[in-house]
Chains A and B, each alone.
Chain A
Amino acid sequence: MWARRRARRGGHSAEELRVRRREREAALRRARRQQQLVSKRLLREDSAAQEGTQDGGDVVPDPLSEDEVLELLRGVQRGSEDRRRWLGRLRWALQNEDTQQKFVRLDGSIRTLTGLFTSSLAELQLEAARCLHELSHSSVPAVAEACLPVTSYLLTYLSGHSLELTELCLYTLGNLVVESEAVRKQLLPQGIIPVLASCIQSPHEAVLEGVGYVLSQLLQAKEAPTEIIPLVLDSALPQHMLQLVCSGLKAAMGAAVEFAWCLHYIICRHKDNELLLALGAVPALTSLLLDLAAQIPPEAPEGLELLVCPVLRCLSNLLAQTDCHGPDRRLLIALFLILQCFLQQHPFLIHECLWLLNNLTADDPSCCSALLSLDLLPALLQLLTCSQMGTVLVLTVLCNVAEKGQFQCQQLLQQPLLAQLLPLLTLPDPEAVGQCLELLHLLFLHCPEAAAEFTRQGGHQALEQHQGTPELQERAQALLDMVRQPPGAPSACQATLAASS
């Protein structure tokens, strides 16, 4: 069975797997910072993976010598009875990156594969497609570029009816496009966007997921904002993408995940998302989140976070790009239910949730009031110390609420807010401390009694320690002036309030 290669437990202890995952994660973070975050997917037949290994698919065959690779090529070219076996051996050997490079350097190697791939001999065709797929997984750009002559054929078979072949072609294309700009530059005039636009109407989930994979890979290219996104937006793809994302809870979850990431890559890199807004992306994604939150079991199903994450991002960015007034307040409830559900397993989603919460509350007083009246504040305050970035985001949301006026500030102060803010002032992160100072200022401004309470709790000492921090000292000093006002005297904050009104 063809399946995406999954981590296998066979032969590895849980600890080994954890170590490996940590290493991979560190490598991905490094790559992201260098703007070289690239991944490929591998479809591999389980039986093939097991052929040469006892402990699953992680063992890569040893590199072959030039002569051995040549022998394989000759074997494949020779019209002997066991050609299919030769091709199978070639495919197995091509899992090795070194062998891949030797193979593509051989004269006629890609031509031979292309020939078999375009043949009508069903079995050989599939096997050749699998060889090409192995090559597409190489991280060496020269290997991807050796596959340039085959891209037009890969596209042609996307319109075919063989599910397995179509899937292989899709994942091969998706792998090739991230490796080489030359491949992308060739695929665009070869018509990859219209082909994908017709493939996206396929009834097969596996094909849809593959289409989403190719698109998501294309959309991450550095030239995407100028070269690719306009073509995608100009095609029939956006409406289908949106529709597939929104039906992800009912069917084709894998496809929904891919297309949700596609939408994210478009929205976060494109300045003007009017087309998606006109297609109703905001209400559609909103209702997806509402449905999801209403149905979500206490233990979220594995993989759901991969859909939720880009959907939250899309909504946040779209809300930031539009003057959309009065967002659906039920989103607040959905956000907290989602937070609750993913908190332990996938804490990274907290950032996306808080980002959206900020965009909902920033200039919508009714969302701020709803946050308070729905009694969601205690839960929000629990997240004050979830992570460095989370702290800043929660403080920002609280600022959004406090900024709305005295009534909101009073409601905030009904919680033990000051007691929770105090320890935050000792955080080493100046951004978090700075945001904390901003919040205190808003609270003291609208509720002078809070300043007195803050002093009682020993707040001025916490402020004093920031008098020497360049980016904080002015604000710390201003707050100290506010809290040092003797009770009953007209406070500085009342003066500023009077001045601002």
Chain B
Amino acid sequence: MRPARLALPAMLPLPPRLRLLLREGLPPLPQAPPSPPASLPTPPFTFTPRRLQLGPQHPLLEDGDVHRHLYLQGVLTSLEEVAERPKVSEFSCHISGCSQVFDTLEGYEHHYNTLHRNVCSFCKRSFPSGNLLDIHILEWHDSLFQIMAEKQNMYQCLVEGCTEKFRSSKDRKDHLVTVHLYPADFRFDRPKKVKSGSKHTNSPVEQGSSVPMDVSVEMAEQSQGNAMETGPEESMEISQPAASPGPSLPEKRLYKSRSVLWPQGKRGWDHSSFSALCSMAWAALC
């Protein structure tokens, strides 16, 4: 008797036409005598057929799990081939007022999606998502909103999937910080400001309006002498124009871009550098 050795067959002796059977369906089963009712095993034998349910740590799953993680860690070779990003001849953004230049379509796409995709048509602000743009339009440019807000909770939570509404933007902020664990320095709200920079094409609605909040926070805002927030905790507005050594903005800028979710900085942080950065970038953009 040869001792058994573990070995892997090169091929399985499968009958032909299996694939055909898969497509065309199985032949009827041959008539087998009815199986006797299942009986309990006679000791000392213990076998009873059962479907196995395996938990995540079962040894049977080890090899497959390891393979999965080799894949995640990029150790498996020849997985996907990297597609070359096609270079195109330089072109510039077609949005009027924007002359950013690109040499890849991806670069342009990212630029467009960041700056031009979710843009408020009233005040030209840009938002990271359609949802935030919708909230902005509702709260800033819908004349019914203020009237309604006096009667019922109208400020909806910014977190997708949360249906809570609040009486004021401050209540909403408290909710975001306490319930959704948003950073406490998260700047959701800003007093609606009067743009002193007449160079901006602010919508009339926005001008002089006292709508108290804005779900957006400016990032690259370069407005000259902009009041911005005045509270001490807001002093880190990166776009504080006073600190900006950058060139004044060209007249032709047609939109402003801001990020909704700009974290508020600490005191003493070098914000002039940011302003300079912004100026620089704006010079490139405009």
Which residues of chain B are within 8 angstroms of A408 by Cβ–Cβ distance? 32, 35
B: number of interface residues (CB 8 Å): 126
Complex: A123 Cα to B258 Cα, angstroms:
15
User: Which of B48-56, B202-210, B225-233 lies at the binding interface?
Assistant: B48-56
Give bound CA distance, A439 to B45, whole Å.
10
Q: Identify which of A162, A316, A329, A501 contacts B54 (C-beta below 8 A).
A: A316
A6 in contact with B80 (CB, 8 Å): yes
Query: Interface of chain B, helix or strand or loop or mixed?
Result: loop
Name which residue of chain B comes closest to A461, CB basis: B1
> Given A362-B49, A369-B32, A152–B182 Cβ distance below 8 Å?
yes
Q: Which of B113-121, B140-148, B166-174, B193-201 contacts A (4 or more CB under 8 A)?
A: B113-121
**15 CB < 8 A contacts A-B:** A3-B83, A7-B76, A25-B66, A119-B238, A122-B107, A160-B113, A160-B114, A163-B106, A191-B160, A317-B53, A351-B63, A362-B49, A363-B49, A379-B13, A388-B6
Q: Which 5 A-B residue pairs are closest in the complex by CB-CB distance?
A: A194-B161, A79-B276, A348-B63, A159-B129, A320-B53
Say whether, besides A6-B80, A29-B66, A79-B276, A423 and B4 are in contact (CB < 8 Å).
yes
B263 touches A386 (CB 8 A): no
Query: Does chain B have a CB within 8 A of A469?
Result: no
Report whether A190 and B14 are in contact in the complex, using a CB–CB cutoff of 8 Å.
no
A439 CB → nearest B CB, Å = 8
Q: Which residues of B contact A159 (CB under 8 A)?
A: 128-132, 160
Stretch touching chain B among A40-48, A243-251, A275-283 = A40-48
B86 to chain A, nearest CB (A): 10
Task: Give A293 to B20 CA distance when docked, in angstroms.
Answer: 11
Q: Could you tell me the distance between the alpha carbons of A441 and B74 in the complex, rounded to whole angstroms?
A: 48
Q: Does A474 contact B (CB under 8 A)?
A: yes
B281 touches A124 (CB 8 A): yes
Tell yes or no: A349 within 8 A of B by CB: yes
Given A115-B263, A119-B220, A337:B15 Cβ within 8 A? no
> Whole-angstrom distance between the alpha carbons of A222 and B170 in the complex?
36
User: Does A126 belong to the interface (CB within 8 Å)?
Assistant: yes
Interfacial chain A residues near B29, Cβ < 8 Å: 366, 369-370, 373
Is B219 an interface residue, CB under 8 A from the partner?
yes
Do the beta carbons of B68 and A376 come within 8 Å of each other?
no
> Within the complex, which residue of B62, B113, B220, B270 is in contact with A29, where a contact is CB–CB below 8 Å?
B62
- Rounded to whole angstroms, the CA-CA distance of A197 and B241 in the bound complex is 40
- Bound Cα distance from A369 to B31, whole angstroms: 9
Dominant SS at the A interface?
helix
Given contacts A119-B219, A189-B181, contact A313 B44 (CB under 8 A): no
Which A158-210 residues have C-beta < 8 A from chain B? 159-165, 186, 189-191, 193-195, 197-198
Cα A77 to Cα B277 in complex, Å, equals 9
Q: Which residues of the other chain, B, contact A152 by a CB distance below 8 angstroms?
A: 180-183, 186, 261
Q: Which of A1-59 contact B (CB under 8 A)?
A: 1, 3-7, 9, 17, 20-21, 24-25, 28-29, 32, 35, 37, 39-42, 46
Interface residue A94 (Cβ < 8 Å from any Cβ of B):
no
CA distance A351 to B148 in the complex (A): 63
Within 8 A of A (CB), among B18-51: 18-19, 21-23, 25-27, 29-30, 32-33, 35-36, 38-40, 42, 44-51
Q: Is the CB of A21 within 8 A of B70?
A: yes
